[in-house]
Each structure stands twice: as C-alpha cells, then as structure tokens.
Structure 1
Amino acid sequence: MRANRHRIFKPPAGLTLLELLVTIAIAAILLTIAVPNLQSLFINNRLVTNSNNFVASLNTARSEAIRRGASVSLRKNSATSGDWGSAGWTMFVDSDADGTLDVGETTLKIDNALPSPLTLYANNNFVNFIRFTPSGQSNNSGTFVICYDGVLQQGGDPRSRAIIVNATGRVRVAQDTNGDGIPNKDDTTNVSSCTNP
C-alpha cells in the first residue's frame, strides 16, 4: 500500500526584484536626508570638543597662576602665523610677565595643533599670548574664535565658536543670541571674522 503523500508548498526564500528596488529607493531617500545632518553634527562636535579643550587650557593657566602665586601665560607656538591652532600653544610660568618663554621659566603644558581645517585666532589683545596674574586676572580682555574651514557659518549652520576672556580672568564660550549661526561678543554684536574676532 502506498502512502498518500501531501506536498507542502514552501514559498521561495529571498527577495523579489521589486522588493529589492523599493528597499534601495527607501534607503537612498533616507541617506539623502541623513548625510547633511550627520555632517553638521560632525562639524559641530569637532568645534565643541576643540573649543572646550582650549577653554580648559585657559582655565588651567588661570588656576595655576592662583595656585602658584605667579604669572602663568599661554603663548601660541608659531611666531609667524596668527593662527594659534596651526602649531598649538604652550603654558608656562611667566616669571618676568612678558609673555615670552625664557630660559629658566617652567613649562607646564604643551598643546598640539588643532586638526585641519580648524583655525584659532585671537583679537588684537591676545595676538601672541594671554597672561594670568597671581590674582587670576588676565592681562587684557578679548576674544578667541575657532572656525571650521575658515567660515563663521554656512547656510545658517554654525561653523565657529567664540571664547571670551574678560579682564577679571573669567573665561566663557560666547552664545549665538540672535540665532544667525554666528557667536556674539559681550556687546551682543557678531564676531566679525575668523581671523580677527
């Protein structure tokens, strides 16, 4: 006697060409939307990280000046470029308070150059150095600006961050109070450029 076999139908495994094309089209649409946002996120992350590192250097110099009871300076490592970020900066005990690292003065920290395409410029008050006194005051008040690719903003997206130092030595990151993507100085006017804030 022969057993009556029933065959069970199993659909073929895998995707049809139409399903594959629809999936690829949806993925392409999502990538078109996501990639520009990811690029802005990436740029903003680099700006925030590197500006926070510079703020930390400034705050460390100030606290070292207070702790040691001596002037401490931060000086850009390049004498030829106005860009603090191109060669980094050095923190040192500035015994004669001249902003120059002389023989016998103690080097506290050397920071490397910023990654390309970031730049870091100061206004005329801090062209080559900033010094903090034993009371924590800075030698002047002024602004530093860190820019991505040499622009303050692009298409409304921020491409810069400004760091404000007042004469009392307080260091802070400037805010964009008017929403145009460019950080504002203490007087609420925009930072004017990436090379002379």
Structure 2
Amino acid sequence: MKSSCHYRSTGFTLIELMVTIAIAATLLMIGAPSFVAFQRNSELTSAANSFVAALGAARGEAMKRGRQAVVVPRADNNWAAGWTVFVDTDNDQQFDGSDILLVQQGALPSYFTATGQGTAQNSPAYVMFNPSGYTQTSGAVFQSATLKIERNDLSGTEKTQQTRIVVIAKTGRARACQPATDTTCTTSATE
C-alpha cells in the first residue's frame, strides 16, 4: 500500500499582504494625530506638575531653613526656558554662587509657552517664599501669582483644552488646574 501525501503550501498571497498593509496604513493615519495630541497633553500636565513640585520644594526649604526660597526662570523672564529653585542666602532674588541650589528644570518643548502674572511676570520674574511659607514680593508684601502653560501650535477651543494654569496663593499653596473644566482656574485667580 502506497500512501499518497499531498502537501499544500500555506501562507499569504501577495494580494492578501497588500490589503493587510493598506488597512494597517489607514489605521495608523487615523491614530497618529490622536497619539500626538495625547502625548502633548501628557507633556503639558507633566510640565504643570513639575512647576507645582518646584514650588513645593521652595516652600518646604524656606520653612525648613528659616530663609527665603525663590523660583526663577532660567533665562530672562522666559518661564518656558525652564526654572531654577534655590534658597536665597543674599536676598536678591537672583541665583548666584552664594545661594543653595535645590532644583533646576530644563526647557519646555518648543510648542509650549509659559507666561506669569504677579511676581511671576515682574522683571526679573520670580516666585518667593518667606520662612513661614507665604509668597511675597521683594518688598515683603504678600502676593499671589499664576503661571499659564499652553500649547502655541493650537488655537480656539483646542488651545483652551490644552492649557494649564498654576495658581500660587498668598498662603504659599500651589495648584495646577485646567481652565476648560474649572471656572475658578484663571490667570487672575488668587487661591
């Protein structure tokens, strides 16, 4: 008895492979813009949270050391260039060799802008905490401040959705919020 085995070749035909690639390319074209928006929204939230953390570090060190602690932009008055947190040993609101460095944040991505209000808008810009943890001006006046971080590659409703504001109360408490979902989240907010 002879057994006859027939083997059939398995695999994809060229047409099946081309149809699969076309479907995958279509799905990728639909999904890629959503992924970019998701990634940039995540970076925006991260930037706002990093600023809140820097403020918390400055406030904590001011109270711990019994000295003023300051957060300043790394370049001129441009908060998007990053920020530096330090204990201000010479009380001049400028980071120099005699001050104690706490944190340095690098520049934000180029599609973000960051603008301050209150002392965060001054020239030079700063947010200062006194030894009791309250925010104040260089003239020892208690003052709130805000920092708005937003996407500069969007406009209209999309831009509002992709905006975060960090509100620093006179008490030193800082919070990040989204103006699109929080009516108390404005650049003139004081708490």
TM-score band w.r.t. shorter chain: 0.7 to 0.9
- The aligned runs of 1:73-152 (5 Å cut-off) are 73-79=70-76, 82-86=77-81, 88-95=82-89, 97-101=91-95, 104-127=98-121, 128-139=125-136, 140-149=143-152, 151=154
> What amino acid is the match of 2:2?
N
**Cα distance in structure 1, aligned partners of 2:9 and 2:61:** 72
1:24, 1:175 → 2: CA distance? 40
1:173-192 to 2 correspondences below 5 Å = 173-178=176-181, 186=184, 188=185
CA distance in 2, matches of 1:151, 1:29: 25
Task: Give the fraction of aligned pairs with identical amino acids, expressed as a percent.
Answer: 34
Alpha-carbon distance, 1:90 to partner = 2.1
The answer for unaligned runs of 5 or more in structure 1 is 179-183, 193-197
Task: Give me the CA root mean square deviation.
Answer: 2.7
Bigger mean CA offset, 98-107 vs 15-24: 98-107
Larger of the two Rg values belongs to structure: 1
Q: How many residues align?
A: 179
Task: Sort the Cα spacing of 1:69 and 1:151 in 2 relative to 1 into closer, same or farther, 3 A.
Answer: farther
1:4 aligns with 2:2: yes
Structure 1 residues 125 and 33, CA gap change in structure 2 (3 angstroms): same
Residues 153 and 95 of structure 1: CA distance in aligned 2, closer, same or farther (over 3 Å): farther
Secondary structure at 2:135 match in 1: coil
Matching residue's letter, 1:85: A
Q: TM-score, normalised by structure 1?
A: 0.76
2:148 and 2:163 in contact (8 A); partners too: yes
Please list, as runs of the form range in 1=range in 2, the aligned pairs for 1:34-53 lying within 5 A after superposition. Answer: 34-53=31-50
Contact 2:161 2:180 in 1 (8 A): no
User: Which structure shows the higher strand fraction?
Assistant: 2
Provide the residue aligned with 1:54 in structure 2: 51
Structure 2: gaps of 5 or more residues: 137-142
The 8 Å contact of residues 83 and 106 in structure 2, kept in 1 or not, is answered as yes
